[in-house]
Structure 1
Amino acid sequence: MTAPIETTGAEAEAQPEAVLVGVKKSQIEGRSLGQIAWMRFKRDKAAMAGGIVVALLILMAILSRPIQWLFDLDPNKLNQNLVDPTLRAPYGGWGGMSWDHPLGVDPGFGRDLLARIIEGSWVSLVVAVGATLLSVTIGVIMGVVAGYYGGWVDSLVSRMMDTFLAFPLLLFAISLSASVQDGFWGITGLPLRIGVLIFVIGFFNWPYMGRIVRAQTLSLREREFVEASRSLGARGPFIIFRELLPNLVAPILVYSTLLIPTNILFEAALSFLGVGIAPPQASWGGMLTEAADQYEVDLQFMFVPGLAIFITVLAFNLLGDGLRDALDPRSK
C-alpha cells in the first residue's frame, strides 16, 4: 500500500481543487463595482422603497395623459353639482370623496383632485428634471475645469460661483416670471412658463454642483492614474473626459437625485406665489394656492397636493441617501 504524499508549505497552498470541490461557479466568480453597489443598495430597505416610489411617480408622469384618457379623468372638468353654492364646499364631507372621485373635488369648481394630481405630476417633474440637467451640466463643466487647471482659471470660476450664490434668486425668479407672462420671442402659454422656470432654477443653481465637482477634481488630479496619463503625453481635455469624469459619476449621480426634490419645492413655491405655472393648468404649487383660500371650508383640498409634494420629496431624498451609501466604498 502506497503511503499518501505529504505536501507542505507552498505545495499545500497550491492545490485549491480540494477546497473548491462542490462549490458552484457563481459562488466564486468576481463581482463588478456595479454589482457590489447594487447589492449594497438592495440591503437598504428605505432606499429601495424610495426608488420604487420614484419609479412609480416617473411612470405616472409619463403616462399621465393615457391614464386620464383610459379612466376618463379630466383635470379641468367642472362638476358644480358636487359643490354647495352657498358654502362653496363639496357635498357629503371629506372633500366630496366617492368612488368616482377617490380623492374628492376642489371646493371652488368641483374639479377632480386625482386628475389634477396626475396632471400636475408631469409639470413638476419636467421642471425639476430639466432644471437639474441644466445646473448639473453647467456645474460639472465649470467645476472640473476649475479643479483640474487651477490657477487663475480656478480663481475666476470660484468668484463666479460666489457671485451666483449671493444672487437673490427668489426675487429674480419672481420678477422674471412676471415680466414674460405675456410672451417672449413668440413663445406663449405653458411652454414659456416651463422654459422660464427651468432656466431660472437651473441656471442660477449650478454653483452648488460646481463646488462639489471642483473639490472632487482637486483630489483626483493628484492621483496616480492621472499622473500616468500625463506621463504618456495625454493633454487636459483627454484627461478630463477619460480619467476624471468617469470617477465623478458617483457624486454627480447622488447630488442630482438630491437636487431634484429641491427643484420640485422651488417650482411649487413659485406656483404658490402666482408666478409659476398659470391656471387652469394643474400644478401642485398652484393647487396649494387655490387651497389657501378654501382651507376653512375644505382642509382636504390643501392636504392632497401637500401630501403629493411630501411623498415625492421624501422618496427622492431616500433614494439619494441610498445611492450615496451604495456608491461610497468607504461606507459600511
Structure 2
Amino acid sequence: MTAPIDTTGAQAEVQPEAVLAGAKGQQIEGRSLGRIAWNRFKRDKVAVAGGVIVILLILVAALARPIQSLLGLDPNAFHQDLIDASTSLPKGGMGGMSADHPLGVEPKFGRDILARILEGSWVSLVVAFGATVLSNVIGAILGVVAGYYGGRVDAVISRLMDTFLAFPLLLFAISISATLQGGAFGLDGLPLHICVLIFVIGFFNWPYLGRIVRGQTLALREREFVDASRGMGARGPYILFRELLPNLVGPIIVYSTLLIPTNIIFEASLSFLGVGIQPPQASWGGMLNQAVDYFQVDPQYMIVPGLAIFVTVLAFNLLGDGLRDALDPRSR
C-alpha cells in the first residue's frame, strides 16, 4: 500500500544535497592546532601588545650598534663639559637632556644615557636567551628521560633536581662570577663575563623546567601514539625525541617566555652587585649600581634603566601568559 502524500504544508526535511548546494561550492578548510592557538592568541589584545613590545626590544638590541652609529652616540664617550665640576651633576637640570642627548647624561662622567641603554639591551637579552636555551636543553632532556623510563632512572634524576634546587643560587652565582672575573677557559673581558653569566644562570635553573617536562611525560607515555610506536618496534631514543618531545614544545615555549624575564632580572642583580658585566661595558644593572650615589639629587639616571628592566620583564610576562592561554585553554 502506497503511503499517503503529506499535504499539510509541514516543512520538509532538508536533504544533504540541498545543504551542499547552499554552500555555493566553497571548500571547507580544516584548521591545525597551531592555527587554532594563533586565533586564540590574537583575541588576547594584552598578550599581542606584549608580543609587539618584545619584538621591538629584540630588534633594538640586535641593531643597537647601528642605531648608535646612526645617531652619533658613543656609550663610553665622556662629556665633561656637560657636568658641573662643583656638584658632579649635569648642567641645566633635567639630567642634562638636550637634542643631542634625549635621555640626558649620567652624573660625574657625562656619558650618554640613551647610548648606554641601547648598549645594555643586547647584553641583557644575550645573557637571558643564552641562559634560557642552556637550562631548557638540560631540563627538557633530563625531564623527558626521567618521565619516560621511570624507576631508578627517575629516582636518580629527581634527586639530582632536588640537589640543584637546594643550592643558594644567588650566593653561588656571586662566588663563581667573582672567582672567574680575571680570566678562564681562554677567555677574558666581556666574552668571559657573558659566558660565565650564561653558565651560572642556565646551569642551575634547569630543574624548574625538568620538573614540568617530567610531569607532562608521565601523562604522555601512556597515550595511544606511544603504544603504537612501541608496537611498531620503535626504541626508547626514537620515542623520546620523535614522539614525546614534539608534544612538549608548547609547555617548553610557554615556560621559556616566563623564564627569560627572570634571567634578565638575575643578570641585572649580579651586575648591580658588581660581579656581573664589568665597566666600562654598559649594562642595566651596572647603571643602577652607579646611580645609587646620585638618585636623591638626579633620579633620572636610576629611573631610565629601571624602566627599561620593568618594561622588558612586563612585556615577556604578558607574552608568556598569552601563549599559555592560547596553547592550553584549560589553564584559564
TM score, norm. by length of structure 1: 0.94
Counterparts in 2 of 1:192-211, with a 5 A limit?
A: 192-211=192-211
5 Å-filtered alignment, 1:182-201, equals: 182-201=182-201
Question: What stretches of structure 1 move > 6 A for 4+ residues in a row?
Answer: none
Distance 1:35 1:185 in 2: 46
Q: Where does residue 236 of structure 1 map in the other structure? A: 236
1:90 aligned residue: 90
1:84-163 matched pairs, under 5 angstroms: 84-163=84-163
Q: Structure 2 CA distance, aligned partners of 1:142 and 1:185?
A: 26
**Structure 2 unaligned blocks of 5 or more:** 6-10
| Gap runs ≥5 in structure 1 | none
Residue in structure 2 matched with residue 16 of structure 1 by the alignment: 19
Instruction: Give the whole-Å Cα distance in 2 for the aligned partners of 1:24 and 1:91.
Output: 70
Distance 1:186 1:137 in 2: 25
TM superposition shift of 1:24: 4.6
Q: Where does residue 263 of structure 2 map in the other structure? A: 263
Counterpart CA distance in 1 for 2:123 and 2:148 is 37
Alpha-carbon distance, 1:8 to partner: 7.1
Structure 2 residue matching 1:57: 3-state secondary structure: helix
CA offset digits 1:225-272 (Å, max 9, x no partner): 111111221111111111111110000000001000000000000000
The count of aligned residue pairs is: 324
- In the TM superposition, what is the alpha-carbon distance from 1:91 to its structure 2 partner? 1.2
Aligned to 2:295: 295
Opposite residue 129 of structure 2, the aligned amino acid is: V
Is 1:249 the counterpart of 2:249 in the alignment? yes
Partners of 2:105 and 2:66 in 1: CA distance: 21
Structure 1 vs Structure 2: percent identity of aligned residues? 72
Per the TM alignment, residue 90 of structure 1 is displaced from its structure 2 partner at its CA by 0.9
Task: Supply the distance in 2 between the matched residues of 1:14 and 1:180 (Cα, whole angstroms).
Answer: 76
What residue number does 1:68 align with?
Answer: 68
CA distance in 2, matches of 1:299, 1:265: 20
How far is 1:137 from its partner? 0.2
Secondary structure of 1:84's aligned partner: coil
Instruction: Name 1:167's counterpart in structure 2.
Output: 167
Return the alpha-carbon distance in structure 2 between the equivalents of residues 272 and 329 of structure 1.
39
- Which amino acid in structure 1 is aligned with residue 34 of structure 2? G
Read off the aligned partner of 1:63 and give its amino acid letter: L
Distance 2:228 2:17 in 1: 35
User: Any conservation in 2 of the 1:148–1:217 contact (CA below 8 Å)?
Assistant: yes
1:325 equivalent in structure 2: 325
Give the CA deviation at 1:16. Answer: 3.0
Aligned to 2:221: 221
What is the deviation of 1:166?
0.2
SS across alignment from 2:15: helix
2:289 and 2:26 mapped to 1: Cα distance? 61
**Superposed CA RMSD:** 1.7
Give the aligned partner of residue 8 of structure 2: none
1:38 partner SS: helix
CA 1:24 to 1:93, structure 2 compared with 1: closer, same or farther past 3 Å? farther
Match of 2:47 in 1: 47
Distance in 1, matches of 2:51 and 2:296, equals: 36
**Amino acid corresponding to residue 134 of structure 1 in structure 2:** L
Contact 1:127–1:197 (CA under 8 A) maintained in structure 2: yes
